[in-house]
């Protein structure tokens, strides 16, 4: 079993994390539907937002995966997207704050 990932942010930011993480779980559903529809534009747009905001919430790794998804979907390259989604899902489940 993998270790939990501790997020080190100020208390005032910790208060925002439950909603933030819940929104990302909703994004996972958006990604999954878009991938099934081969909708690269939705994947790129959604990933672009996460790439721009995750680091500010102390979730640098999430931001890095999202950046890769953004760049690859921009090039209409969707072969790795499912792998990234699995990685995000696992990461979100391991977060502890």
Partner 1 sequence: MENQKLILGVDDDIEITTILQRWLTMEKHRACFFNDIREFFQALGKEKCHLCIVDINIKTLGIGFEVITEIRKKFGDNLPIICLSSLSDMKNIAHAIEIGANDYIIKPTSRAILTQKCQQLLEMSSSSSSSFSSSISLPEGQYRFVPTQFSDIKLSSKVYIEGIDEHGFKVRSNFLIQKGTAIWIRSSLVEEILKKQEIFCTVTSNWVVIGSTDFGAYLEFDLVSSELTDNIRNWIYLKRKSQENER
Q: Which of 40, 51, 65, 69 is the binder for partner 1 (CB under 8 A)?
A: 51
Block residue for tokens 């997207």:
81
**Residue 1 CB, nearest distance to partner 1 (Å)?**
29
Is the Cβ–Cβ distance between 81 and 31 less than 8 Å? yes
- Rounded Cα distance between 51 and 36, Å, is 22
Tokens matching residue 77:
């390259």
Binding mask 6-25 for partner 1 (x = CB under 8 A): ----x-xx--x---x--x--
Q: Which of 6, 52, 82, 93 is the binder for partner 1 (CB under 8 A)?
A: 52
Q: Half-sphere exposure of 80 toward its Cβ, with a 13 Å CA cutoff?
A: 15
Applying CB under 8 A, which residues contact partner 1? 10, 12-13, 16, 20, 23, 48-49, 51-57, 60, 63
């Amino acid at each position: 079993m993998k270790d939990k990932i501790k997020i080190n942010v100020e208390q005032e930011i910790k208060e925002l994390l439950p909603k933030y993480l819940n929104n990302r779980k909703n994004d996972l559903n958006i990604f999954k539907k878009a991938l099934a529809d081969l909708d690269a534009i939705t994947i790129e747009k959604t990933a672009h937002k996460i790439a721009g905001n995750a680091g500010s919430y102390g979730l640098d790794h999430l931001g890095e995966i999202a950046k890769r998804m953004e760049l690859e979907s921009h090039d209409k390259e969707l072969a790795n997207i499912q792998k990234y989604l699995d990685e995000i899902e696992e990461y979100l489940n391991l977060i502890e704050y």
